[in-house]
């Protein structure tokens, strides 16, 4: 017979699960509304990336976006496996896991029963409820396994999107080499230097963009700002280089076109003069006859 204490504990866990589900789906619906609003206003100049960046660069950035989502899901699985029993780790991991799960839910269509089940699997109950379990081992392992299935499905979806977008736009996959270099360095730095995910990303970002190998910022917001500035500057510097190269190439070919036009005009003039001379010669011959 189940004791009263056990019933109270089970009831509390059910309430916590319901609250976690409500919280997550609340975030999901708010995020869905924001995305729909942005899509409706995608032709607005302020929200149109092609107003700031060349078309080729926006295509590359979209490739990078797909790869980033794949990496976020992979890192989520990796760190959950390594630190699954650490309460201190999960106190810092809740935000990251919730964000990745939210992105995954927004990316997946809800047309089939399988996709609807995956949405449920993506709810980060293992993170949100980790501190509420007295003996979390069995239940936590089950929740983690279910969550991993959802994350693996998101990886599959985004990899398919990456391949389709790359092939349909005739793009190369050399971006995989660059991204792979940053990703391996990111994971290696995290374990080798004993840094958390955010510190590791800041260190790799600064080292990769030649701004020094150091952690900039003392707070999470300061570090996120550092990452934004580093990669934002890196992208904009690429835009400047591409714009300059385009201007130089355009000027070179414009000059060549002007030379060709001048040559064509000269040839046309010479041909006209030759035709006139031939006509005059013919008239002279007729007169002599």
Kindly indicate whether the domain formed by 170-268 is annotated with CATH number 2.40.320.10: no
pLDDT band for position 250 (50/70/90)? low
Q: Tell me the mean pLDDT in the region 4-13.
A: 73
Instruction: Report d(CA 257, CA 116) in Å as an integer.
Output: 59
Q: Of 145, 131, 121, 150, which Cα lies nearest the Cα of 90?
A: 131
Which range among 21-25, 105-109, 219-223 shows the weakest confidence by mean pLDDT?
219-223
Q: Of 105, 117, 110, 113, which Cα lies nearest the Cα of 154?
A: 105
Q: What is the pLDDT of residues 148-178, one digit of tens each?
A: 999 999 988 888 888 888 887 776 666 777 7
150: tokens are 């959802």
Instruction: Look at residue 240 and tell me whether its pLDDT is greater than 50.
Output: no
The residue with greater pLDDT, 90 or 242, is: 90
Residues composing the chain: 289
Q: What is the pLDDT of residues 73-91, one digit of tens each?
A: 888 888 788 776 666 666 7
Q: Of 140, 135, 161, which Cα lies nearest the Cα of 66?
A: 161
7 alpha-carbon distance from chain centroid: 46
Most confident stretch, 14-28, 29-43, 82-96, 195-209? 14-28
Instruction: Look at residue 71 and tell me whether its pLDDT is greater than 80.
Output: yes
Sorted by sequence, the CB contacts under 8 Å of residue 108 that are 6+ apart come out as 115, 118, 119, 122, 153, 154, 157
Instruction: Report d(CA 61, CA 175) in Å as an integer.
Output: 10
pLDDT band for position 186 (50/70/90)? confident
Summary mean pLDDT of the chain: 72
Please give the share of the chain, as a percent, with pLDDT higher than 90. Answer: 3
pLDDT band for position 211 (50/70/90)? low
Domain spans of the chain? 56-169, 170-268
Q: Of 147, 46, 159, 40, which Cα lies nearest the Cα of 101?
A: 147
Instruction: Look at residue 106 and tell me whether its pLDDT is greater than 70.
Output: yes
Instruction: Report d(CA 131, CA 128) in Å as an integer.
Output: 8
- CB distance 164 to 62 below 8 Å: no
Q: Of 103, 70, 78, 69, which Cα lies nearest the Cα of 197?
A: 78
pLDDT value, residue 111: 81
Instruction: Report d(CA 162, CA 63) in Å as an integer.
Output: 6
Q: Which long-range contacts (CB under 8 A, 24 or more apart) does 176-179 make?
A: 176/67, 179/64, 179/67, 179/71
Q: Tell me the mean pLDDT in the region 175-189.
A: 73
Please tell me the pTM assigned to this model.
0.65
């Amino acid at each position: 017979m189940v004791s009263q204490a056990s019933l109270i504990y089970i009831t509390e866990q059910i309430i916590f699960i319901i609250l976690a589900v409500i919280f997550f789906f609340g975030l999901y619906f708010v995020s869905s509304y924001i995305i729909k609003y942005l899509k409706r206003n995608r032709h607005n100049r302020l929200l149109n990336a092609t107003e700031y960046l060349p078309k080729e660069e926006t295509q590359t950035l979209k490739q990078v976006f797909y790869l980033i989502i794949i990496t976020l899901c992979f890192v989520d699985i990796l760190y959950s496996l390594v630190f699954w029993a650490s309460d201190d780790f999960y106190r810092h991991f809740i935000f990251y896991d919730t964000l990745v799960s939210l992105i995954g839910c927004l990316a997946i269509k809800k047309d089939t029963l399988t996709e609807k089940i995956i949405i449920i699997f993506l709810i980060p109950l293992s993170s949100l409820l980790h501190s509420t379990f007295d003996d979390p081992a069995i239940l936590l392992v089950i929740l983690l396994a279910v969550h991993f299935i959802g994350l693996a499905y998101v990886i599959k979806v985004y990899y398919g999107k990456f391949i389709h977008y790359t092939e349909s736009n005739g793009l190369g996959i050399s971006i995989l080499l660059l991204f792979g270099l940053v990703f391996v360095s990111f994971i290696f730095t995290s374990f080798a230097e004993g840094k958390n995910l955010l510190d590791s990303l800041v260190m790799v970002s600064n080292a990769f963009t030649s701004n020094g190998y150091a952690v900039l910022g003392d707070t999470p917001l300061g570090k996120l700002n550092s990452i934004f500035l580093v990669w934002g500057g890196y992208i904009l510097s690429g835009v400047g280089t591409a714009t300059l190269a385009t201007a130089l190439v355009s000027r070179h070919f414009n000059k060549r076109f002007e030379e060709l036009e001048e040559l064509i005009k000269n040839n046309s003039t010479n041909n006209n003069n030759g035709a006139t001379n031939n006509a005059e010669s013919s008239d002279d011959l007729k007169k002599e006859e």
